[in-house]
C-alpha cells in the first residue's frame, strides 16, 4: 500500500464537529417548521438512472451532472464494442456506453420521479420535505460547491393558494427562529409577467423580457433598457414597460396600478387575483409577517414555474437569495403523470450558514457536545470516577472521563479544545469527603459540591 | 423531452414518510447515546479522490467501489489520447484515464483521511461519530443494498481500554433504548488469537485458523476440523485447538482456562489482560449489562484489528450481526500519520430497522407527522379556521387545514392516509358557538371543545 498525502476532491468539504453542530441547528430549525406545517420527510437515493436526469436541466445542466461509471469489466461487454474508440472520439457517446447512473443534480426531479413511481401509495395532496445533498460539476468558487445540501418542501396535488400563503409563513417562521431580523420575502406571479408581455404585444419575448428586468437591481433602468433593445424590444415597448417595472408604493398600491395596466389581459388579471388571494390568506393566518413584497421584476426559472414565484433575501448581509420557489403546473408530466399541480420552496442552507456566521447568530446553546469532563489523576481516582460518570449519563448529561492520567494541563486543554463547559476534579480530598471540585470553565470559578448538586447545577 | 417510465437503479431505495420517521428514530436514538459518551459528529464528502480509496479494501473491495466519471469533454484532453482504445481493451486502465473520484465505500477510510488532513486542528483523543450513506457495487439481494447508511463511532489517540468498555455500554444503552431485550455483545481479542496460533506452533496460519473457527456456529466442530486440515493444520494441532475452541462456562471460567492454555505466550496473556481490564471497567461503570460474552471464535477483519474486537447479535430474530468493531493500531498509517491508535464500533442500521419492524418495536410516539387536521367545509369555515390553525402551530403542534372544501369523506381519508390522530370539524354550529368538534380518529369519539381545551388535550 503506497502512502498518499490525502486531499479532497475540488469543491467538496469536510464538516468538523463545530460545523456539524451549526449545520444541524439550521437543518433542525427548518425541518421543525416544515413538520409543523404538515410536511413529511422523504429521502431518495443519491444515484438515479441517467435517463431520469438527462434532459431535465437544459444542455448546460446536463453537462454538470456527475455520471457514475458502470461497475465490473464494462469494456468487455459485447455491446460496448460497438464504440470505435479511434474514430468515434466523442465523450458523450462513450458515456452512454459506460455509464447508466448519475448523482442527483437537485431534489425536484427525483421528487417528481418519486411521486410518479409511488402514486398508488401516496395520499394526495402530498406534502413532502427533503434535506439531502446534491452534486453539480460546476466550477467551484466562494460559496459554490460541487456537493451541497438542498432543503426543499413541496406539495403536489393541491391547487389551493393556501399552500403559497403557508410557504410565506414557513419562510418567516424558520428564518425568524434562526435569528434573522431583516429579510424580504419577494413574491411575483408568472401570469402577471405573461400579461405584461401580452399588453406590450410581444408575448413571444416573455423570456427575454423577464431575463432583462430581473437585472433591474444590478444594472438599473438604463441597463435594462439597453438589454431590452438588444433582445428585440422597441423604444415604444419600453415606454409601455417603464411604469410597470418602476412600480413603487405598497403592495396594495402596486396591485391597483397593475390592475389598470393589465385591464385587457385575462391572464394578467388572473395573476393579480392569485397574489391577492395569497395576501388574504396570509392576513387571516397572522397579524405580522416580515417584509412581504410584490416585486414585478422577480423572474426565476420561468420555463418551470407557472404561478406564484418567491425569493427571499436578507438585508443584514450582502448575499444572494437565501431561498426561492414557486408553483409549477406540470412537474410530473416528464414521467408521464399529467395535470398534477405542485408548488414548492427551497432554503439555501449553505448561504444561511454564512449569514448566521457573519451575524454571529449561532446560539451557544446549539452546542450538542460534552457537558462535563471528569479529570483523571490516577488509577484510584479513575475507579472512583467511573460510577459518577455513569450517574451523569443516566441523567442525560453528555459526560466523559479523561481516558488517561495525563498532566492536568493537558486534560484542561482537552476540555478547552472541545468547548466542554464544566470539569469535575477528583483527587484524594474529593474521594475522602465525597465533595467534588466543580469547575466552570468559562468563569474559572471552582466549588465543592456533591454529585447530586452538580447534576442539579448542570441540568 | 421524451417521457420515460421512471425506475430506480438496482440496489437503491426511496424512503417514504413512514419509513423516514422510523429511520430517524433509529439514527436519533444511536446519535443521542454517542453524544452522551462524548462523541461528536463529523461529515465527509460523498466523493473521495480515487487514490484515497484504492488499495484499502483488498482487490475484491476495489472492484466494488463506484467510480465517478470526470466531467467535461474528457476524451479530448491530450493525456487521454495515450490510451489505445483498440489495443488496450482493459477497463481498469480506461478508468484511470477517465475517473479521478469515487463514492465512499465505508466511513473508516474517509475518517482516517480526515484525521490526517485536520490533525493540527483536532483535539486528541478525538472521539467522532458519523452517520452517512456508503456505496458498494455489490450484487443486490435481500438486506444488501448498493447505497446504505453506516453509523460509526471511533476514538483515535487514546490507548485506554476505558474506550472499549464504553463501547460495550454504548451498544447496551442504544439497543436497549431501541427496545431490544435479548442480544449478545461478543468480545474477543486479536492478541488471544495470535497467542493460540503461537501455542500451536503455527503463527503464520493465524488467518486460516480464525477463518475456520469463526464458522463454528454454522458448521460445528466437525466442519471446522475438516477446514483446518485443508488449511494446513495437523490432527495434533487440532487436538490442541479443540479445548480452546470449545471453551465453555462463564467469562471468568473461560479466562482462567485460557490463562493455563496460553501460559507461555506473552501476546496471548496480554490479550487476556486486556479483556480483564475491559471487564473491570464495565463492572465499575454499571451493575448490569446485557449478555457480554467472551467468544474465542469471534474473528472479524483480522488484518485490520489489533486488540479487542466486538460483535453484536440479537437473539430475538434470525439476523446476522447488527454491530461490530474493535481496536486498530495503525489506521492513519496509510496516509502517513504513524502510531495513532484507534478503536471504533458500527451499528448496522438497516438490519436494526428490519429487527425492530419484525418485533413491532417502533413506538407509536415516534410519529413526527401532523397531529391535527382541520376540516374545510366551505369558504366561510376556511377563513374561520385560519387563525385557529396558526394558534395550534404557535403551540408547536403540527397542524394542517385541508386545502379545499372537498367531500368530508375525502378529507377523512386524507387524515387516515397520513395517520393524523385528531381532526377538528368546523361548520356553522361550531362557528356560532366557538365550540369546535374534536374527533379522535383512533377511537372515533367526538367532543365539543374550545380551541384552548383542544390544545391542552393534545399537548
**In which band, very low, low, confident or very high, does the pLDDT at B3 lie, cut at 50, 70 and 90?**
low
Q: Is residue A175 part of a domain?
A: yes
Total domains, chain A:
2
The span from the CA of B104 to the CA of A241, in Å, is: 53
CATH number of the domain residue A393 falls in: 3.40.50.800
As a 3-state breakdown, chain B gives helix, strand, coil percent values, each rounded to 5, of 45, 20, 35
Closest residue by Cα to residue B33 from B160, B166, B125: B166
Q: Are residues B373 and B334 in the same domain?
A: no
Shared domain check, A162 and A275: yes
Best residue in B287, B403, B420 for a mutation probing chain A (most A CBs within 10 Å): B403
- Cβ separation of A125 and B286 shorter than 8 Å? no
Q: Is residue A68 a part of any domain in this protein?
A: no
**For residue A192, which of A249, A116, A270, A99 has the smallest C-alpha distance?**
A270
pLDDT in tens, B117-139: 999 999 999 999 999 999 999 99
The edge-to-edge listing of strands for the beta sheet with B47-49 is A47-49, A99-103, A67-69, B67-69, B99-103, B47-49
Whether the predicted pLDDT of B75 surpasses 80: no
Interface contact B75-A52, CB threshold 8 A: no
Between vectors from CA B121 to CA B120 and to CA B125, what angle results, nearest 5°?
A: 90
Task: Answer with the residue of higher pLDDT: A135 or A288.
Answer: A135
Nearest CA in chain A to B113: A6
d(CA B256, CA A73): 53
Q: What is the pLDDT of residues A52-70, one digit of tens each?
A: 999 888 888 889 999 999 8
> Is B390 within 8 Å of A285 when comparing Cβ atoms?
yes
Q: pLDDT category, B402, cuts 50, 70, 90?
A: very high
User: Quick one: how far is CA A323 from the chain centroid?
Assistant: 7
Which phi-psi region, left, alpha or beta, contains residue A2 (left: φ > 0; alpha: ψ -120 to 50)? beta
Pairing of strands A372-374, A399-401: parallel
Establish if B240 belongs to a structural domain: yes
**pLDDT for A334:** 87
For residues B309 and B431, membership in a common domain is answered with: no
A337 lies in the same domain as A401: no
Please provide the DSSP assignment of A10-23 as one string.
TT---B-HHHHHHH
pLDDT one-digit tens code per residue, A8-44: 999 999 999 999 999 999 999 999 999 999 999 999 9
Q: Residue B82 has what pLDDT?
A: 60
The C-alpha of A314 sits at a distance from chain B's nearest C-alpha, in angstroms, of 24
Residue B394 has pLDDT above 80, yes or no: yes
Q: Which of B91, B373, B392, B412 to mutate to test the interface with A (most CBs of A within 10 A)?
A: B91
CB contacts, 8 Å: A76 with chain B? 89, 91
Inspect the interface and report whether the beta carbons of A128 and B13 lie closer than 8 Å.
no
Dist. CA B96–CA B306, nearest whole Å: 33
Question: Are residues B15 and A42, on separate chains, in Cβ contact within 8 Å?
Answer: yes
> What are the pLDDT digits (tens) for B47-70?
999 999 998 888 888 899 999 998
Which residues in B lie closer than 8 A to residue A93 (C-beta atoms)? none
Angle at B53 between CA B49 and CA B58, to 5 degrees: 155
Residue B84: is it exposed, middle or buried by C-beta count within 10 angstroms (0-12/13-18/19+)?
A: exposed
Question: Does residue A4 have a pLDDT over 80?
Answer: no
For residues B175 and B359, the answer to whether their CB atoms sit within 8 Å is: no
**What mean pLDDT value characterizes chain B?**
91
Q: What mean pLDDT comes out for the span A86-94?
A: 65
B37 is an annotated ligand-binding site residue: no
Compute the distance between CA of residue B219 and CA of residue B213 in angstroms, rounded to an integer: 9
Q: What does the pLDDT read at residue A307?
A: 95
Give the per-residue pLDDT at B80. 56
Looking up residue B304, the CATH number of its domain turns out to be 3.30.930.10
Q: Which three cell numbers stand for residue A97?
A: 456506453
Is the model's pLDDT at B89 over the cut of 80? no
Q: Please give the pLDDT value at position B217.
A: 83
Residues of A with Cβ-Cβ distance to B41 under 8 angstroms? 17, 20-21, 24, 368
Of the given ranges (A41-45, A110-114, B154-158, B455-459), which has the lowest mean pLDDT? B455-459
Per-residue pLDDT reduced to its tens digit, A261-277: 999 999 999 999 999 99
In a domain, B95, yes or no: no
Cα-based distances in Å from B386 to A162, A326, B375: 10, 22, 11
Nearest CA distance, A76 vs chain B (angstrom): 8
The residue-averaged pLDDT of B401-416 equals: 95
Interface test with B, best of A19, A38, A104 (most B CBs within 10 A): A38
Closest CB from B12, B35, B125 relative to A403: B125
Task: Find the residue in A nearest to B398 (Cα).
Answer: A36
Q: What's the DSSP call for residue A146?
A: S
Between A82-96, B159-173, B232-246, the lowest mean confidence (pLDDT) is in: A82-96
Q: Which three cell numbers stand for residue B134?
A: 456508503
Q: Find the largest Cα–Cα distance for chain A.
A: 94
Task: Give the per-residue pLDDT at A214.
Answer: 87
Contacts B9 to A, Cβ<8 Å: 45, 47-49, 100-101
How close does chain A come to B248, measured CA to CA in Å?
30
Determine which of B7, B8, B283, B414 to mutate to test the interface with A (most A C-beta atoms within 10 Å).
Answer: B8
Position B290 scores a pLDDT of: 72
Give the number of beta-carbon pairs within 8 Å between A and B.
300
**Residue B114 forms part of a structural domain:** yes
Does the beta-carbon distance from A100 to B9 stay under 8 Å? yes
Binary contact (B94, A71; C-beta < 8 A): no
Q: Give exposure, B401-432, as e/b (b: 16+ Cβ within 10 Å).
A: bbbebbeeeebbebbeebbbbbbbbbbeebbe
CA angle B20, B26, B30 (to 5 degrees): 140
Residue B69 domain flag: no
**pLDDT score for A370:** 93
Give chain B positions within 8 Å (CB) of A421: none
Preferred mutation among B43, B78, B431 to probe A, highest tally of A CBs within 10 A: B43
Is the Cβ–Cβ distance between B104 and B44 less than 8 Å?
yes
Cell digits for B254? 473461560
Say whether B154 counts as a known binding-site residue.
yes
Percent of chain B with pLDDT over 90: 76
What is the tens place of the pLDDT at every residue in A312-340?
A: 999 999 988 999 999 998 888 889 898 89
| Terminal alpha carbon distance of chain A | 49
User: A42: which DSSP letter?
Assistant: -
Distances (CA, A) of B248 to B215, B235, B262: 17, 22, 16
The residue from A359, A381, A412 where one domain ends is A359
- DSSP conformation class of A412: H
Please judge whether A46 and B133 are an interchain contact, meaning their C-beta atoms are less than 8 angstroms apart. yes
Higher pLDDT among residues A48 and B88, named by residue: A48
Evaluate whether A307 touches A325 at the Cβ level (below 8 Å). no
**B332 and B397 housed in the same domain:** no
Picking from B308, B334, B359, the residue at the C-terminal end of a domain is B359
Closest chain A CA to residue B118: A16
Q: How far is A172 from A170, CA to CA, in rounded Å?
A: 5
Would you call B56 and A1 a contact, using CB atoms and an 8 Å cutoff? yes
Reported ipTM: the value is: 0.92
Distance from the B395 Cα atom to the nearest Cα atom in chain A, whole angstroms: 10
Residue A116 has pLDDT above 90, yes or no: yes
Instruction: For an interface test with B, give the residue of A11, A15, A17, A168 to mutate (most B CBs within 10 A).
Output: A17
CB contact under 8 A, A17 and B101: no
- Binding annotation of A: 106-108, 136, 150, 154, 300, 304-305
CB within 8 Å: A42 and B16: yes
Same domain for B374 and B341:
no
* Within a domain: A384: yes
pLDDT of residue B245: 86
The range of the structural domain enclosing residue B291 comes to 17-46+105-359
- How confident is residue A94, by pLDDT bands cut at 50, 70 and 90? confident
Question: What are A82's three cell numbers?
Answer: 460497438
- List of chain A residues whose C-beta atoms are within 8 Å of the C-beta of residue B370: 35, 38, 40
Q: Does the structure show a pLDDT above 70 at B366?
A: no
* Alpha-carbon distance values, B419 to B18, B371, B397 (Å): 9, 9, 15
Q: Is residue A89's pLDDT more than 70?
A: no
Residue B113 pLDDT more than 90? yes
Boundary residue ending a domain (B326, B359, B392): B359
Cβ-based neighbours of A444, under 8 Å, separated by 6 or more? none
pTM for this entry: 0.93
pLDDT at B95: 78
Single out the residue of B247, B184, B244, B185 nearest to residue B209, CA to CA: B244
Using an 8 Å CB-CB cutoff, list chain B residues near A400. Answer: 37-38, 127
Residue of A nearest to B380 (CA): A284
pLDDT at position A59 is 85
What pLDDT is stored for residue B226 in this prediction?
94
Res. B188: pLDDT tops 90: yes
Among A284, A80, A102, A283, which residue's Cα sits nearest to residue B9? A102
Give the phi and the psi of residue A3 in degrees, each rounded to 5: -90, 125
Mean pLDDT of A244-248: 88
pLDDT at residue A433 tops 80: yes
8 A C-beta contact, residue A174 and residue A322: no
Element (H, E) at B9: none
- Whether residues A31 and A170 share a domain: the answer is yes
Query: Taking Cα atoms as reference points, which of B130, B134, B136 lies closest to residue B111?
Result: B130
A217 plus A313 within the same structural domain: yes
CA-based nearest residue in chain B for residue A50: B9
DSSP state of B268: H
Asked if residue A434 and residue A372 are part of one domain, the reply reads yes
User: Do the Cβ atoms of A42 and B116 come within 8 Å?
Assistant: no
Q: Do A335 and A394 share a domain, yes or no?
A: no
**Is a pLDDT exceeding 70 seen at residue A298?**
yes
pLDDT of B74 reads 63
Nearest to A45 by CA among B350, B45, B143, B14: B14
Assess whether pLDDT exceeds 70 at residue B198.
yes
Instruction: Provide long-range contacts, Cβ within 8 A and 24+ apart, for B388-394.
Output: B388/B424, B388/B426, B388/B436, B388/B451, B389/A285, B390/A169, B390/A285, B390/A286, B391/B451, B391/B455, B392/B451, B392/B454, B392/B455, B392/B458, B393/A36, B393/A37
Name the DSSP letter for residue B141. B
pLDDT tens column, A187-209 = 999 999 999 999 989 999 988 89
Q: b vs e for B211-247, b when ≥16 Cβ sit within 10 Å of the residue's Cβ? A: ebbbebeeeeeeebbebbeeeebeeebbebbeebbeb
pLDDT tens figures, B254-266? 999 999 999 999 9
- Please, which pLDDT band fits residue A98 given cuts at 50, 70 and 90? confident
CB A228 within 8 A of CB A238: yes
Asked if residue A402 has pLDDT above 90, the reply is yes
Mean pLDDT for chain A? 91
B41 vs A48: CB contact, 8 Å cut-off? Answer: no
Residue of chain A nearest B387, judged by CA positions: A285
In this structure, the answer to whether residues B283 and B424 fall within a common structural domain is no
CB B145 within 8 A of CB B279: no
Place of cell 447508511: B149
Q: Which residues of B touch A5 (CB under 8 A)?
A: 335-336
A298 and A194 in one domain? yes
Name the H helices within B118-231: 162-177, 190-200, 206-213, 216-230
How far, in Å, are A335, A399, A410, B42, B437 from residue A417 at the CA level? 52, 15, 10, 16, 56
The reply, when asked if residue B304 is annotated as ligand binding, is yes
Q: Are the beta carbons of B159 and A400 separated by less than 8 Å?
A: no
Kindly state the cell numbers that stand for A398. Answer: 453528555
Q: Look at the block and give the residue holding cell 476514538.
A: B155
The answer to the question of residue A61 being in a domain is no
Determine, for residues A158 and B403 on separate chains, whether the beta-carbon distance falls below 8 Å.
yes
Give the residue-averaged pLDDT of A372-390.
96
Minimal Cβ distance to B12: which of A47, A387, A414 = A47
Query: What residue has cell string 369523506?
Result: B409
The single residue listed with the C-alpha cell 429511520 is B23
Structural element, H or E, at residue B26: helix B17-36
Amino acid at each position: 500500500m503506497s502512502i498518499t498525502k490525502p486531499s479532497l476532491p475540488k469543491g467538496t468539504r469536510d464538516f468538523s464537529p463545530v460545523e456539524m453542530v451549526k449545520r444541524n441547528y439550521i437543518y433542525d430549525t427548518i425541518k421543525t417548521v416544515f413538520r409543523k406545517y404538515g410536511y413529511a420527510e422523504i429521502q431518495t437515493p443519491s444515484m438515479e438512472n441517467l435517463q431520469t436526469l438527462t434532459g431535465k436541466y437544459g444542455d448546460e445542466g446536463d453537462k454538470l451532472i456527475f455520471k457514475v461509471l458502470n461497475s465490473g469489466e464494462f469494456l468487455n461487454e459485447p455491446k460496448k464494442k460497438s464504440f470505435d474508440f479511434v474514430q468515434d472520439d466523442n465523450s458523450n457517446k462513450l458515456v452512454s456506453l459506460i455509464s447508466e447512473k448519475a448523482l442527483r443534480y437537485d431534489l425536484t426531479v427525483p421528487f417528481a420521479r418519486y411521486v410518479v413511481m409511488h402514486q398508488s401509495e401516496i395520499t394526495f395532496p402530498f406534502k413532502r420535505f427533503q434535506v439531502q445533498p446534491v452534486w453539480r460539476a460546476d466550477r467551484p468558487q466562494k460559496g459554490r460547491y460541487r456537493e451541497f445540501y438542498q432543503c426543499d418542501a413541496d406539495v403536489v396535488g393541491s391547487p389551493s393558494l393556501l399552500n403559497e400563503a403557508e410557504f410565506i409563513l414557513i419562510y418567516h417562521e424558520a428564518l425568524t427562529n434562526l435569528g434573522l431580523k431583516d429579510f424580504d420575502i419577494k413574491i411575483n406571479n408568472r401570469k402577471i409577467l405573461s400579461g405584461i408581455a401580452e399588453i406590450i404585444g410581444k408575448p413571444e419575448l416573455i423570456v427575454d423580457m423577464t431575463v432583462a428586468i430581473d437585472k433591474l437591481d444590478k444594472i438599473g433602468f438604463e441597463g435594462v433598457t439597453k438589454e431590452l433593445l438588444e433582445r428585440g424590444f422597441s423604444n415604444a415597448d419600453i415606454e409601455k414597460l417603464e411604469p410597470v417595472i418602476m412600480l413603487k408604493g405598497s403592495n396594495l398600491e402596486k396591485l391597483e396600478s397593475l390592475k389598470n395596466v393589465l385591464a385587457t389581459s385575462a391572464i394578467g388579471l388572473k395573476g393579480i387575483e392569485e397574489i391577492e388571494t395569497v395576501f388574504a390568506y396570509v392576513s387571516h393566518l397572522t397579524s405580522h409577517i416580515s417584509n412581504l413584497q410584490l416585486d414585478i421584476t422577480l423572474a426565476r426559472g420561468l420555463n418551470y414555474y407557472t404561478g406564484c414565484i418567491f425569493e427571499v433575501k436578507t438585508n443584514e448581509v450582502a448575499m444572494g437569495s437565501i431561498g426561492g420557489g414557486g408553483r409549477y403546473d406540470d412537474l410530473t408530466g416528464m414521467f408521464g403523470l399529467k395535470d398534477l399541480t405542485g408548488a414548492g420552496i427551497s432554503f439555501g442552507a449553505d448561504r444561511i450558514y454564512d449569514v448566521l456566521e457573519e451575524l454571529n447568530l449561532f446560539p451557544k446553546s446549539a452546542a450538542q457536545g460534552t457537558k462535563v469532563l471528569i479529570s483523571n489523576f490516577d488509577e484510584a481516582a479513575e475507579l472512583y470516577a467511573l460510577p459518577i460518570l455513569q450517574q451523569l449519563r443516566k441523567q442525560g448529561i453528555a459526560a466523559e472521563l479523561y481516558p488517561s492520567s495525563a498532566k492536568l494541563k493537558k486534560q484542561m486543554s482537552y476540555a478547552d479544545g472541545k468547548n466542554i463547559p464544566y470539569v469535575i476534579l477528583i483527587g484524594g480530598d474529593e474521594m475522602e469527603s465525597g465533595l467534588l471540585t466543580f469547575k466552570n470553565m468559562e468563569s474559572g470559578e471552582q466549588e465543592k459540591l456533591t454529585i447530586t448538586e452538580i447534576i442539579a447545577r448542570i441540568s
